[in-house]
């Protein structure tokens, strides 16, 4: 459905940034109807990647395909995407009805038909009683639903969500998270969410791409990220409490084969069930000692 091939994004160095690529050779494939999260620490390139999918930013190099179609130079309005921004970006002077109908009117749909569709989609996200209000007369959760309704009004093939729950309180976040997932399944729309909240990403997604420094560290279903992290970054980024890593040289006693990690402060005996392959003997390792 969506393929990113070796995507690089370098922002203009003159504007005072370090000159490092914000996105640095990113490959990603997203299947039809999949729910994928881009997760990583601040500045890792999540939003930049989403903006390139939306067409609001152009990659410096690399290719973006929607199906077979190369979309690098396709305008946002011609990409058949819906987007929800962190700020919701609702038009304050328009009613909820007109906010939802806006993308349809932009596509030259007649007003009665656009209003009919606005009503239909507002029922699905349970805000049909609020159609005559202005955004300022809504709670944060209600504004979030209006933003979702507007993004879904034109039946997009792809839904892009940029930290859509970060302005909601903890309780509401959980409800909205479940609703978004249900809506996504019911409507069958391929969805990409940007978040720095690992719990949110792991709870809502089919697969999670963990980014650091503009590169994908691992792209896998949530359970696999936990059970088989591919590198130290993933291992220490995930989990609450985080892993407790010690570094030191591995030694093995000749008699009983007990392995020990020798550190400056203390020696750690590796439990028998977690013995390391023999090639690690004498080498330096980092070991998680959070788990027994």
* Site of interaction with ligand ATP (CB under 6 A): 11, 15, 17, 22, 40, 42-48, 196
Based on CB atoms, which residue is closest to ligand ATP, 9 or 207? 9
- State the nearest-atom distance from the C-beta of 106 to ligand ATP, in Å: 26
- CA-CA distance, 154 to 150, in Å (whole number)? 8
- State the nearest-atom distance from the C-beta of 11 to ligand ATP, in Å: 3
- CA-CA distance, 124 to 130, in Å (whole number)? 13
Quick one: the chain helix, strand, coil %, rounded to 5?
Answer: 35, 25, 40
- State the nearest-atom distance from the C-beta of 192 to ligand ATP, in Å: 13
Count the neighbouring beta carbons within 10 Å of the beta carbon of residue 197.
Answer: 17
- State the nearest-atom distance from the C-beta of 27 to ligand ATP, in Å: 17
Q: Which pairs with CB-CB distance under 8 Å and at least 24 residues apart come from 260-267?
A: 261/285, 261/287
Based on CB atoms, which residue is closest to ligand ATP, 48 or 198? 48
Based on CB atoms, which residue is closest to ligand ATP, 7 or 270? 7
Q: Locate tokens 């720095």: which residue?
A: 196
- State the nearest-atom distance from the C-beta of 114 to ligand ATP, in Å: 33
- CA-CA distance, 153 to 287, in Å (whole number)? 50
In what order do the strands lie in the sheet containing 35-39?
81-84, 158-162, 190-195, 35-39, 207-212, 215-220
Report the run of H or E that residue 95 belongs to, with start and end. Answer: none
- State the nearest-atom distance from the C-beta of 60 to ligand ATP, in Å: 12
Based on CB atoms, which residue is closest to ligand ATP, 130 or 201? 201
**3-class DSSP assignment, residue 116:** helix
- State the nearest-atom distance from the C-beta of 84 to ligand ATP, in Å: 15
Q: Which pairs with CB-CB distance under 8 Å and at least 24 residues apart come from 12-20?
A: 20/213, 20/214
- State the nearest-atom distance from the C-beta of 125 to ligand ATP, in Å: 25
Chain mean position to CA 265: 39
Based on CB atoms, which residue is closest to ligand ATP, 17 or 290? 17
Based on CB atoms, which residue is closest to ligand ATP, 17 or 228? 17
CA gyration radius, the chain? 23
Based on CB atoms, which residue is closest to ligand ATP, 105 or 215? 215
Burial class (CB in 10 A: 0-12, 13-18, 19+), 57: middle
* Neighbouring residues of 256: CB distance < 8 A, sequence distance ≥ 6: none
Q: Which of 165, 99, 157 is closest to 132 using CA atoms?
A: 99
Based on CB atoms, which residue is closest to ligand ATP, 22 or 101? 22
């Amino acid at each position: 459905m969506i393929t990113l091939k070796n995507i690089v994004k370098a922002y203009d160095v003159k504007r005072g940034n370090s000159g490092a690529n914000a996105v640095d050779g990113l490959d990603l494939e997203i299947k039809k109807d999949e729910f994928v999260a881009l997760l990583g620490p601040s500045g890792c390139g999540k939003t930049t990647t989403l903006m390139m999918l939306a067409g609001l930013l152009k990659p410096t190099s690399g290719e973006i395909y929607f199906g077979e179609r190369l979309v690098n130079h396709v305008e946002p309005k011609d990409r058949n995407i819906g987007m929800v921004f962190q700020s919701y970006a609702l038009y304050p002077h328009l009613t909820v009805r007109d906010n939802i109908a806006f993308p349809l009117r932009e596509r030259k749909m007649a007003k009665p038909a656009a209003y009919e569709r606005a009503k239909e989609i507002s029922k699905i996200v349970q805000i049909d009683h609020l159609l005559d209000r202005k955004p300022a007369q809504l709670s944060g959760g209600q504004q979030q639903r209006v933003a979702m309704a507007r993004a879904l009004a034109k039946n997009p093939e792809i839904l892009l969500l940029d930290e859509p729950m970060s302005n909601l309180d903890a309780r509401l976040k959980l409800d909205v998270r479940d609703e978004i997932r249900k809506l996504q399944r019911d409507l069958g729309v391929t969805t990409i969410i940007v978040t720095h909240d690992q719990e949110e990403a792991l709870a809502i997604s089919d697969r999670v791409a963990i980014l650091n420094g503009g590169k994908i560290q691992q792209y896998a279903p949530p359970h696999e990220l936990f059970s088989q992290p591919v590198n130290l970054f993933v291992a220490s980024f995930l989990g609450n409490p985080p892993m407790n890593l010690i570094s030191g040289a591995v030694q093995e006693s000749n008699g009983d084969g007990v392995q020990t990690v020798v550190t400056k402060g203390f020696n750690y005996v590796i439990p028998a069930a977690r013995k390391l392959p023999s090639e690690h003997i004498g080498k330096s390792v980092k070991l998680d000692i959070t788990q027994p």
